[in-house]
Amino acid sequence: MDKYYITTAIDYVNGAPHIGHAYEKILTDIIARHYSQRTDNLFFLTGTDEHGIKIQKTAASKGITPKELCDENAQKFKAAWKALDINYNKFIRTTDEDHKKIVQKIFQKLKDKGAIYKHEYEGWYCSGCECFLNPKDLTEDGLCPDHMKKPDIVKEENYFFKLSAYKDAIIKHIKDNPDFIVPSFRATEVINQLEDIQDISVSRSKENVGWGIDILDDPEQSIYVWIDALSNYITAIGYNPDGESDEQFKKLWPVDVHVIGKDILKFHSIYWIGILMALELPLPKHIFAHGWITIDETKMSKSLGNVVSPTSVLENFELEYPDAFRYYMATSAPCGRDGNYSDNDFKEKVNAHLANSMGNLLNRTLSMLVKYFDGEVKEEFFVTKSPEKVSGSLSLIKESAGKIKVVENHFNHFEIAEAAQEIMSIVDSANKYVTDNAPWTLAKEEKMTECGQVLTTVLEVMCVISSLIYPYCPNIAREMAKQLSYDITKKLEDITTDEIKPGKLISKEDIKPVFLRVDSELADKSVKK
């Protein structure tokens, strides 16, 4: 692959990050880390959305300026992503000066070509959605279906983007590219929304919304959220509507995937696509709309008091690294569906998968290698180079090698949980292979070549597993690779089934669990120290 450009939605900084924000960033980071194993030119963008009436009102209630509120909360998002090992290349803030200047130019370009016009409008405005709603989209009680609040009647003279002019072209693009919107069942929803799409307001009166980007030739108006926020995907990489864009933009655009929540799919698959068409820019290759995360099967709500901070999970379980939480969140739901978080399920899943199955497999295999062979791997132990003396050795190695392409294919379709299931299926196969062949019994019977072949076969498979699990659990994967003397930085296409080298592999003092059960005494940091 020549490049891979991936983005998250930019988070609104009206409050602190919660587990829903974390879910999206973890999914995106896992996709990005996977593709870093397939290309040297990967770019991962995230950031914060910092303009609008909600920020203006919250700042006023706190007695601080909107910029001070944005600075305070943007730092909370950055700190959370650092704690979760979110390895982005750039964190954009819509209050960045270079972003604001390019947004003004984008707005002016669209205005100059007639794609934006001024118009007096009266309609139902939801401050939560930051958009005007069609009356038919309201509930029977006249409420916004997402925020369950009654929108305000707003009458203003605003600038409007001619979205309706691009309706047919957007419908055609979606129908001609069945993998454009992922999962595919969401495309039907978008096409239905397009049937009666109207032009959209892209500015607000300064009198009503003072916290925004000024329109160059009309300082009485603020550029509204959609052109401001959505344009971050191109301003962050050097787009310039007035002249030559940066080389980075030319190399990275079009984006390979926008990772977003299903609640903002309309804005990305309709509004953003219309804006890009008006700017005559290539369209995104994919838009991946993930589901929501509930807490103990209940939707998160401040009034219910069940909003979970992602870092609180790490603190509550005294996790030194975020790998277990990352793995759990990534496997909480099939592609595009809703998922759930609960403390009990978290403990059960990560203990079963990461400690009991994967971690214990490596630990006991290396321990037996030290016990029976002083940590040495002999030439005759390699079934790819010597006759197979233990049934199932070659088939297990072939299965693990074949899973690389299977996992890649799942990632091609943004099936992150499904890819993890495939990785764990290799772990299960390797555990069954050990149980079936009982190397401890082979050693007792003095069948040392057969015993060594079983252990070495498992260690070869563990090299493949460490590479495949790396995007989910980077710290665990690195520790696995270290004990295997394996190069975890290998590209997936370069992985072979002969990664273990003959000779001394490990000593007893270098063997340690790669993941401790979260409910064990040993998992306590003070005990580990």
- Give the catalytic positions in this structure: 18, 21, 126, 129, 144, 147, 299, 302
Rounded to whole angstroms, the Cα distance separating 57 from 514 reads: 48
Rounded to whole angstroms, the Cα distance separating 123 from 121 reads: 7
Which of 117, 97, 270, 102 has the alpha carbon at shortest distance from 202? Answer: 117
Helices (H), 317-438: 323-330, 343-350, 360-373, 393-412, 416-437
- Cβ-proximal residues to 291 (8 Å cutoff; 6+ apart), any chain: 261, 262, 333, 336, 337, 338, 339
3-state secondary structure 32-89: HHHHHCCCCCEEEEEEEECCCHHHHHHHHHHCCCHHHHHHHHHHHHHHHHHHCCCCCC
Q: Which amino acid is at 388?
A: E
Token digits of residue 158: 């605003």
Rounded to whole angstroms, the Cα distance separating 232 from 223 reads: 14
3-state secondary structure 441-465: HHHHCCCHHHHHHHHHHHHHHHHHH
The answer to whether 18 and 310 are in contact (CB under 8 A) is yes
Rounded to whole angstroms, the Cα distance separating 9 from 92 reads: 11
* Total length of the chain: 529
The burial of 371, by beta-carbon neighbours within 10 Å (0-12 exposed, 13-18 middle, 19 or more buried), is given as: middle
User: What is the Cα Rg of the chain in Å?
Assistant: 27
Rounded to whole angstroms, the Cα distance separating 408 from 325 reads: 22
- Cβ-proximal residues to 347 (8 Å cutoff; 6+ apart), any chain: 317, 518, 519
The burial of 185, by beta-carbon neighbours within 10 Å (0-12 exposed, 13-18 middle, 19 or more buried), is given as: exposed
Token digits of residue 136: 């038919």
The answer to whether 372 and 451 are in contact (CB under 8 A) is yes
Characterise 375 by phi-psi region: left (phi > 0), alpha (psi -120 to 50), beta (else).
Answer: left
Question: CA 401 from chain center: how many Å?
Answer: 25
